Structure 1
Amino acid sequence: MCTGSCARCLGGTLIPLAVFGFLANILLFFPGGKVIDDNDHLSKEIWYFGGILGSGVLMIFPALVFLGLKNNDCCGCCGNESCGKRFAMFTSTIFAAIGVLGAGYSFVISAVSIHKGPMCLLNNSTWNYPFRDGDYLSDQDLWKKCVGPADVVPWHLTLFSILLVVGAIQMVLCAIQVVNGLLGTLCGDCQCCGCCGGDGPV
């Protein structure tokens, strides 16, 4: 498979994943689908913007670079038909590494927050983290410790789980592009664009 075509496929997959991550993080600001009067009552991990920055903004740039690789001029320098394409593939490797870091950041934040559980209103009318060491994950009866906002525990768990899965998939896709980009840098794409008299394989 052409390294450029492979990168374009990966880029097209990263775009909707970035949107999902961005939206999931936005929804976390409304626990249980409710507006919170005091932002201090939101879980701290929400403010780390794992989905907005890590799986969202930092993923858009690699995705756009990957999508543009297929249309890159492969006759870029010194009369060497593959020079421009190989440089583009090398650049995509750098952006892919940035994507791995961004997705990894979102993944770690999500994992920590799932393990910690949400901040919620307790029976003694205080806001705190009632769960310890992920105990609520295997015992739904513990969810009753949170008296508000309504459905805050499943809301928190579902959205951070989405971010966890999105981050994991993004890390895998960007890691694939790191390998794909290195292959493209060393070997060139499978075909040239036809300029400079080169119509055959690079």
Structure 2
Amino acid sequence: MCTGKCSKCIGITLLPLAACAIVSNILLYFPNGQVLQLSEITDLVWFFHGILGAGILVILPAFMMMGAGGAGCCANRCGMLLSVVLSLLGFAGGAYCAVISSLGLIGGPLCNTGDGEYLYPFRNDTLE
């Protein structure tokens, strides 16, 4: 049995997950459906972790995996090498998204203090 059939199934599964990551990152720019000023949007959103990391860099291997399979799929060494390289690229994109998201969870939310000033009340900015 060729592994191309399994990779085709994985590629089909990765496409909606990458689309959800892109949509989720875009929604971070419009919280509650409102258009905010640039200073009111959290700083880690500008790293485009959902659009670039978990979106585009995961869609590339997903399309490669969907194209896998068929007659003589295991004998195509160049295609297998490209699949491995694109899978590593997708892994790197997912890891980038996980790191930036973790940093966002550690830093906490950007909050309105009530006087129109936005700051991170839970962030520990001390050197000690």
Could you say which structure has the larger radius of gyration?
A: 1
Q: Secondary structure at the match of 2:69?
A: helix
Q: Secondary structure at the match of 1:113?
A: helix
Give the deviation of 1:123 after TM superposition. Answer: 2.7
Q: Does 1:108 align with 2:95?
A: no
SS of equivalent residue, structure 2 residue 68: helix
CA distance in 2, matches of 1:53, 1:63: 14
| Partners of 2:118 and 2:22 in 1: CA distance | 26
Q: Which amino acid aligns with 2:110?
A: M
**TM-score, structure 2 length as denominator?**
0.88
Match of 1:88 among 63, 73, 79: 79
Distance (Å, rounded) in 2 between the aligned partners of 1:108 and 1:33: 26
> How many corresponding residue pairs?
124
Instruction: Give the drift of 1:86.
Output: 2.7
Indicate conservation of the 8 Å contact 2:110/2:120, yes or no: yes
Match of 2:90 in 1: 99
Aligned to 2:31: 31
CA-atom RMSD in angstroms = 1.8
How far does residue 32 in structure 1 lie from its aligned partner after superposition?
Answer: 3.0
% identity of equivalent residues: 40
Alignment counterpart, residue 129 of structure 1, candidates 103, 120, 126:
120
1:12 alignment counterpart:
12
Map residues 184-195 of structure 1 onto 2, 5 A cutoff.
Answer: none
For the residue of structure 2 that corresponds to 1:70, the secondary structure is coil
Determine whether 1:74 maps to 2:72: yes
Residue type of the partner of 2:63? L
Map of 1:54 onto structure 2: 53
Give how far 1:108 is off: 0.6
Gaps of 5+ in 1: 76-80, 134-202
Q: What amino acid is aligned across from residue 2 of structure 1 in structure 2?
A: C
Work out whether residues 2 and 69 of structure 2, in 8 Å CA contact, stay in contact via their aligned partners in 1: no
The letter of the residue matching 1:7 is S
Residue 2 of structure 1 deviates from its aligned partner by 2.5
Equivalent residues in 2 for 1:145-164 (5 A)? Answer: none
